[in-house]
């Protein structure tokens, strides 16, 4: 696509208008958007049916088809989501601190939008509406690049979003969909320095790797979750079974699901058969270290590669470790810095795990599945950052902002 | 250099120890470092003399020689700087917020170190000590890659820093100096994903461009300051002359010095001759737009390129603009997002400038020269960020940290 620089320039221009728009005006655009999603449901669903038709012809598997499919109920949910964003506090303009310096300068630290956000994501069209509404509320223009499977649905949604912005007196270019879904154009978006202030990729490990490899604009890595549950020698084993079951089985396809079980040697003999029995209810496939296979003779052997893998499926790697220190070392080596849990009744072991595990979210006696912007009380989520810079863990509206120092003087010179 | 991955692994290992070290232990290392800088001054100054000798033979200009040169007084200043870092509050471990969620989970947001910081910088050896002390205090390991001109001085300083760490019971590898000063190794450091959590380049526009082009690890861009002073039609012109003089002339070689003067047309005829006369005291060279040249006939013509240039010298570009709106547009197009100042008595114009200028620090009626971590009250400065992600403006200890969510449960599942 030749016009990516032009799209960048258009987004940047729109961003400068949106950055100083009032909360009232931004909410008006969002309310119009929520309404328009329902009013124009025929148009959206027609385009979605065409996407589904293509997907079926291309042999897309059923669970992917399900993620792609829209219906009136799902549009209503999207509209409800947008109305919820309206109810959230606008972060922009807040002065986080203001101090008077010895020379009389008054220095304020004020929250402002990032500017232009780039988002590269995969097949679910609801991300289009989610991302647009969160970016608008936080005063950011956004350049969206969705997956080709959802192209027609995404274009229909974007047309509606852009009309809503214009109806509220804001530039349509606050939300731009890249109409070329090729990999080359995605890479060019990753390299659009001077126009894209922050790139947020949402997708699998392949997309994240491509972004780390190719991006020249600042990036927030999201979503790769190789999460662990460690069952300590002093764990409440009933609790441990339920936490493991929940972390692995309640929704295996999401990033905060557990992938590897670590269990302390002294309780492995008692715990593993009980855990196996519970996870058998969901036909979980186990892959274990040698010691685990002595206790559970039927299971396959885990390779080094298994411990690095985010299965996103009913598969569990298991390793018997000596103690919490060993578990922490394993997690810090193989984990992706997403969500890690310990089950223990020992105060000191719990404190040590919280302190030494290097991850966005570290849990004591709770499931990793809670890592989520809504659960954390942010009221929204644009992704879960697994890097340390700028944002870590679930990202809400605040994480879509930066700061500016505003300095009031009376002629001071240095 | 073959061993960069090994250095990265060593730094990562040391970082995991330093991350959980107590403030007491970190301060002990810093105090030993301050002492060792003086006790070992002979060794340091000898190596510095060898660097200076090489530099002179290679024809380094005098002002660069001055930046490179150490003496006992400068070592004492460094030691004082390190002692000052001891006096700063340790940011690590602070819990910024802790909330109890509806399901009973207690979620805390805790400040933790970034991990391993990479720093690429140029000839001044004091940066070695500054960076090491700030990284140690904030619990981060650091891989330093200084300029080749200061190589022997940097190695002597690093040996002393590493001994001080060991004397305090901390791993020497918390501070590592890359012994290969080639460009290739600098690029490989920019690409050391998995080991370097954040890269902070400190240097000229060329270094920053190379980092943006080549880096695969997260980067905080620093230090390029194409700063403006805008003199409004309603400015106090006496104040404007002094602010301009200070912003341009008090230290032209630093990033917060002004490079371009924008002046509103209605006052240009009165202001420019007065400003010219004041800046003549420092023999400032002017390069102006057509209108400015009508008022100041002797000056050279400014090209488009001039408006993009950070001169870092006694050179000033000048442009006559219609009003504050024009000035803001110019700044947002040509500026580097560092520090921007307006001189005006008009309340609404001041508020508009603060709101619409997109830069780290925006000043009303004060010199741009105040952008500095010490002036801002951070007690330290590791650089001035000109990007929006993670940190913007002067960076102190807090900007060298990230957060971790610590979650206390009692068996919760989702």
Mind listing the pLDDT tens digit for each residue in A196-220? Answer: 999 999 888 888 889 988 999 999 9
- A179 and A238 in a single domain? The answer is no
CB nearest B364 (choices: A332, A361, A408): A408
pLDDT for B124 equals: 86
Phi, psi of B342 (to 5 degrees): -115, 145
B414: in domain: no
Q: State which residue of chain B sits closest to A367, comparing Cα positions.
A: B413
User: Per-residue pLDDT for A1 more than 50?
Assistant: no
Compute the nearest-CA separation of A61 from chain B (Å): 27
Give the torsion sign (CA, A306, A308, A314, A316).
positive
Residue A296 forms contact with B (CB below 8 Å): no
- A145 and A166 in a single domain? The answer is yes
Compute the nearest-CA separation of A141 from chain B (Å): 14
* Chain A residue numbers touching B198 (CB-CB < 8 A): 388-389
Residue A218 forms contact with B (CB below 8 Å): yes
What is the per-residue pLDDT across A266-293, written as a single tens digit (0 to 9) for each?
Answer: 999 999 999 999 999 999 999 999 999 9
Give residues with Cβ within 8 angstroms of B333, minimum separation 6: none
pLDDT for A2 equals: 53
CB atoms A389 and B402 under 8 Å = yes
Count of alpha carbons within 13 angstroms of residue A378, beta-carbon side:
22
* CA separation for the pair A331, B392 (Å, rounded): 32
Task: Residue B209: name the closest of B187, B180, B193 by CA.
Answer: B187
With a pLDDT cut of 90, the percent of chain A lying above it is 93
- A213 and A321 in a single domain? The answer is no
Task: Residue B136: name the closest of B7, B31, B9 by CA.
Answer: B31
CB nearest B361 (choices: A242, A365, A407): A407
CB atoms B246 and A377 under 8 Å = no
- B188 and B71 in a single domain? The answer is yes
Compute the nearest-CA separation of A57 from chain B (Å): 37
CB atoms B407 and A20 under 8 Å = no
CB atoms A20 and B387 under 8 Å = no
Compute the nearest-CA separation of A239 from chain B (Å): 6
- Two tokens at A188? 């060019």
Torsion of Cα atoms, B9 then B12 then B17 then B22, to 10°:
150
The C-alpha angle A370, A376, A381, rounded to 5 degrees, equals 95
- Two tokens at A5? 């620089």
Q: Which of residues 64-83 of B touch A (CB under 8 A)?
A: none
* CA separation for the pair A56, A359 (Å, rounded): 39
Residue B28 forms contact with A (CB below 8 Å): no
User: Per-residue pLDDT for A347 more than 50?
Assistant: yes
The C-alpha angle A13, A18, A19, rounded to 5 degrees, equals 95
For residue B127, the tally of other CB atoms under 10 A from its CB is: 22
Residue B100 forms contact with A (CB below 8 Å): no
CB atoms A389 and B364 under 8 Å = no
What is the per-residue pLDDT across A8-58, written as a single tens digit (0 to 9) for each?
Answer: 999 999 999 999 999 999 999 999 999 999 999 999 999 999 999 999 999
In A322-360, at which residue ranges do the beta strands (DSSP E only) sit? 339-343
CB atoms B389 and A220 under 8 Å = yes
* CA separation for the pair A320, A74 (Å, rounded): 43
CB atoms B387 and A212 under 8 Å = no
A379: in domain: no
Judge whether B66 and B175 are in contact, CB under 8 Å.
Answer: no
Q: Please give the tally of structural domains in chain B.
A: 2
Compute the nearest-CA separation of B1 from chain A (Å): 22
For residue B91, the tally of other CB atoms under 10 A from its CB is: 19
What is the per-residue pLDDT across A89-124, written as a single tens digit (0 to 9) for each?
Answer: 999 999 999 999 999 999 999 999 999 999 999 878
Task: Residue A389: name the closest of A220, A255, A225 by CA.
Answer: A220
CB atoms A363 and B99 under 8 Å = no
B72: in domain: yes
- A391 and A263 in a single domain? The answer is no
CB nearest A198 (choices: B20, B365, B389): B389
Give residues with Cβ within 8 angstroms of B347, minimum separation 6: none
A40: in domain: yes
Average pLDDT, chain A: 96
CB atoms B388 and A212 under 8 Å = no
Give residues with Cβ within 8 angstroms of A182, minimum separation 6: A1
Exposed, middle or buried: residue B81 (CB in 10 Å: 0-12, 13-18, 19+)? middle
Compute the nearest-CA separation of B354 from chain A (Å): 6
- A66 and A128 in a single domain? The answer is yes
Compute the nearest-CA separation of A90 from chain B (Å): 16
* Chain B residue numbers touching A92 (CB-CB < 8 A): none
SS3 assignment for A201-249: EECCHHHHHHHHHHCCCCECCECCCCEEEEECCCCCHHHHHHHHHHHHH
A378: in domain: no
pLDDT for B1 equals: 42
Residue A236 forms contact with B (CB below 8 Å): yes
CB nearest B115 (choices: A197, A388, A411): A388
Residue span of the structural domain in which B311 resides: 227-370
A382: in domain: no
CB nearest B402 (choices: A250, A377, A392): A392
B381: in domain: no
Residue B351 forms contact with A (CB below 8 Å): no
* Chain B residue numbers touching A100 (CB-CB < 8 A): none
- B30 and B168 in a single domain? The answer is yes
pLDDT for B93 equals: 97
**Strand B339-343 with B361-366, pairing:** parallel
- Residues (pLDDT < 70) of chain B are 1-2
CATH number of the domain that residue B214 is part of: 3.40.605.10
* CA separation for the pair B201, B386 (Å, rounded): 12
Compute the nearest-CA separation of A50 from chain B (Å): 36
- B125 and B194 in a single domain? The answer is yes
Q: Which of residues 248-277 of B touch A (CB under 8 A)?
A: 250
CB nearest A411 (choices: B239, B245, B392): B239
Q: Which of residues 362-381 of A touch B (CB under 8 A)?
A: 362-367, 369-371, 375-377
* CA separation for the pair B238, B260 (Å, rounded): 18
Task: Residue A15: name the closest of A188, A171, A220 by CA.
Answer: A171
From the candidates B339, B366, B368, which should be mutated to test the interface with A, based on the most A CB atoms within 10 A? B366
- A29 and A76 in a single domain? The answer is yes
Residue B198 forms contact with A (CB below 8 Å): yes
CB atoms B213 and A216 under 8 Å = yes
- Two tokens at B229? 């002073």
* Chain A residue numbers touching B242 (CB-CB < 8 A): 411, 413
* Chain B residue numbers touching A388 (CB-CB < 8 A): 114-115, 197-198, 218, 402
Judge whether B132 and B380 are in contact, CB under 8 Å.
Answer: no
Pinpoint the alpha helices (H) of B191-282: 205-214, 237-249, 265-280
CB nearest B367 (choices: A354, A371, A414): A414
* CA separation for the pair B14, B168 (Å, rounded): 14
- B179 and B269 in a single domain? The answer is no
CB atoms B356 and A16 under 8 Å = yes
CB atoms A363 and B16 under 8 Å = no
- Two tokens at B41? 């001054």
Query: What are the CA-CA distances from residue A87 to residues A90, A150, A167, A263, B114 (Å)?
Result: 9, 29, 20, 44, 34
- B154 and B139 in a single domain? The answer is yes
* Chain A residue numbers touching B392 (CB-CB < 8 A): 402-405
CATH number of the domain that residue B247 is part of: 3.40.309.10
Q: Which long-range contacts (CB under 8 A, 24 or more apart) does B343-352 make?
A: B343/B229, B343/B230, B343/B231, B343/B232, B343/B235, B343/B236, B343/B239, B343/B240, B343/B243, B343/B244, B344/B232, B344/B234, B344/B235, B345/B232, B345/B234, B345/B235, B345/B236, B346/B232, B346/B234, B349/B232, B349/B234, B349/B324, B352/B324, B352/B328
What is the per-residue pLDDT across A226-250, written as a single tens digit (0 to 9) for each?
Answer: 999 999 999 999 999 999 999 999 9
B18: in domain: yes
- B124 and B258 in a single domain? The answer is no
Q: State which residue of chain A sits closest to B113, comparing Cα positions.
A: A388
ipTM above 0.90, yes or no: yes
pLDDT for B2 equals: 53
């Amino acid at each position: 696509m030749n016009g990516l620089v032009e799209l960048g320039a258009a987004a940047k221009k729109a961003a400068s208008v949106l950055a100083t728009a009032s909360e009232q005006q931004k909410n008006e655009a969002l309310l119009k958007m929520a309404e328009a999603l329902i009013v124009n449901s025929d148009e959206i669903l027609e385009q979605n049916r065409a996407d589904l038709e293509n997907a079926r012809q291309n042999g897309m598997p059923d669970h992917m088809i399900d993620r792609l499919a829209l219906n009136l109920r799902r549009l209503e949910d999207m509209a409800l989501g947008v109305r919820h964003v309206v109810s959230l506090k606008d972060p922009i303009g807040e002065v986080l601190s203001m101090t008077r310096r010895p020379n009389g300068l008054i220095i304020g630290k004020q929250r402002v939008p990032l500017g232009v956000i780039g988002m590269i994501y995969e097949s679910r069209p609801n991300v289009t509406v989610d991302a647009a509404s969160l970016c608008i509320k936080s005063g950011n223009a956004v350049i969206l690049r969705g997956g080709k499977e959802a192209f027609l649905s995404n274009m229909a949604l974007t047309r509606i979003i852009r009309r809503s912005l214009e109806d509220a007196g804001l530039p349509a270019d606050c939300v731009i969909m890249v109409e070329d879904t090729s990999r080359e154009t995605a890479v060019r978006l990753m390299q659009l320095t001077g126009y894209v202030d922050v790139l947020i990729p949402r997708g699998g490990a392949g997309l994240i790797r491509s972004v780390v490899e190719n991006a020249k604009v600042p990036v927030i890595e999201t979503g790769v979750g190789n999460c662990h549950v460690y069952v300590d020698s002093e764990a409440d084993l009933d609790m441990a079974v339920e936490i493991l079951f929940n972390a692995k089985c309640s929704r295996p396809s999401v990033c905060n699901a557990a992938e590897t079980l670590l269990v302390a040697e002294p309780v492995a003999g008692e715990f593993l058969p009980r855990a196996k029995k519970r996870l058998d209810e969901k036909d979980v496939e186990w892959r274990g270290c040698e010691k685990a296979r002595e206790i559970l003779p039927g299971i396959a052997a885990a390779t080094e590669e298994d411990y690095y893998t985010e299965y996103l499926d009913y598969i569990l790697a298991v390793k018997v470790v000596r103690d919490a220190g060993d578990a922490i070392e394993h997690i810090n080596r193989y984990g992706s810095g997403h969500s890690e849990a310990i089950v223990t009744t020992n105060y000191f072991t719990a404190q040590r795990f919280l302190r030494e595990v290097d991850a966005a979210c570290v849990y004591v006696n709770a499931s990793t599945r809670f890592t989520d912007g809504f659960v954390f009380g942010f009221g929204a989520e644009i992704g879960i950052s697994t890097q340390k810079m700028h944002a870590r863990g679930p990202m809400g509206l605040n994480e879509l902002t930066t700061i500016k120092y505003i300095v009031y003087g009376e002629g001071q010179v240095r």
